[in-house]
Structure 1
């Protein structure tokens, strides 16, 4: 079993100091150095527009200032465990979600307004009135449930997720992440467990079990970033241990972890690098793989 030793952790900390965005440096300091979460909350709030949406490249591949659903998801991940149920920033985000939802109750993958922005080439809306999608409605709803938020958007969005998940037979990698994020946080545990069992084989199949699989793939530890994650039940101990070893081995010479997807403009390499490096460190910490 491989662990991240003291020198390797110091190299990762130096990578964060040299290359990561302020918001991710503060998240690192909160996670590993005991810095107050309020600093993270304040940094995330700087990306929120007056209408409640999140833009300004909080999601690095969406460079525009205007809000997008994916910006809300990233914001919620960043303040998960920090912002409480009455946090005004979250309630304003819910107002924005409600204003940009479809009749089905969910939000689209990306809004047509993205066409006015610099962005990664894959960010293309599905027509002038795009449909609601599990990605990112499901993780947004799950994270809001976890924080205890009570807002008019959340009920219809939750029902949209239940309907959409109920219609799924084969799960792609991104939808697998979204479904798991929803199922492990939604209050109706009996219904969540039933859907998890129904989709178990397909959810497992969405992960690349081969640690040498090329391209933009998701590994078992992406679906199971902590031992208590619902996705952990999809994989054996040996499979998780193998992929955790590869996470340790995957640290770059600069101390960080590099994304396995296209870097379409230079600035996003380190913006994503800081975000991903923190995610890898949190996973290694959760599994007891940091030896310091």
Structure 2
């Protein structure tokens, strides 16, 4: 079987319905609307997303990070015209901290099953992760909403004070800088922070554990290139080879409960296929 056939078989055995439908819509001529129908089941009446859309957050209640996950799914479908977007922005408006950013995670997470790294203070401040990624995706798709202006100002304020960063913050930051309308300012900040972003990357393609490789920060060709072609080719080779005999790709971080290994593997399998296709390694 070829790469896609093996991945399809893996998803049938291990993937959530939403990830099986994503695969069908993106690689097998399936229905985009069916993905949206499945995604709506993760959205709560308050407009936020929960219900383990982000597999390490098992609670039903809304959290900021699953909004970003939902927006990435809407992005891959070019579906930011969905009413889910405005409802999610309304939710974000209700949880925004002073200064315009949303927290990394809300204190309500303490009452739910979750991975041990989801910790927070009683009154958490706004955070670039996920505010910058969410704002960047809204800018990419030309969405207008009252939440976005203050969130953009928050991101610019935080970016201006950065001298070093962390892998997940860097990933959110890059989405913002790639799509925010003020291109002159974005390019200047990208140039200033480029080395700090690169310091979060593990260049050894065979390094194990919860490391962040170049393709994690550049899952598709970007207007803000971080890596040369040779580096990308090396890591694409390794990514292709990492498809398991069963046909999927596995997470490189700890699975704190058995179910999340399968849920993340299904989600990541679709993501890896998208990356391989974006760099011309996979057709269609």
TM-score by length of 2: 0.96
- The answer on whether the counterparts of 1:38 and 1:82 sit within 8 Å (CA) in structure 2 is no
Deviations 1:115-137 (A, max 9, x none): 01000011011x11001000000
CA–CA distance in 2 between the matches of 1:35 and 1:186? Answer: 32
Alignment partner of 1:80: what SS?
helix
CA–CA distance in 1 between the matches of 2:226 and 2:68? Answer: 24
Structure 1 residue corresponding to 2:246, chosen from 244, 254, 260 = 254
Gap regions ≥5 residues in structure 2: none
Q: Which runs of 4+ in 1 moved over 6 A?
A: none
Gap regions ≥5 residues in structure 1: 1-5
1:276 aligns with 2:271: no
CA–CA distance in 2 between the matches of 1:11 and 1:85? Answer: 30
Distance change in 2, residues 1:240/1:48 (3 Å): same
1:146 aligns with 2:140: yes
Q: Shift of the alpha carbon at 1:291? A: 5.8
Alignment partner of 2:2: what SS?
helix
Q: Shift of the alpha carbon at 1:84? A: 4.6
CA–CA distance in 1 between the matches of 2:24 and 2:4? Answer: 13
Q: Shift of the alpha carbon at 1:82? A: 3.3
CA–CA distance in 2 between the matches of 1:33 and 1:274? Answer: 16
**Superposed counterparts of 1:18-167, under 5 Å:** 18-82=13-77, 84=79, 86-125=81-120, 127-167=121-161
Q: Which has the higher contact order (CA 8 A, sep 6+)?
A: 1
1:186 aligns with 2:180: yes
| 2:171 aligned residue | 177
CA–CA distance in 2 between the matches of 1:264 and 1:41? Answer: 29
Aligned length: 284
Q: Shift of the alpha carbon at 1:42? A: 1.4
TM-score by length of 1: 0.94
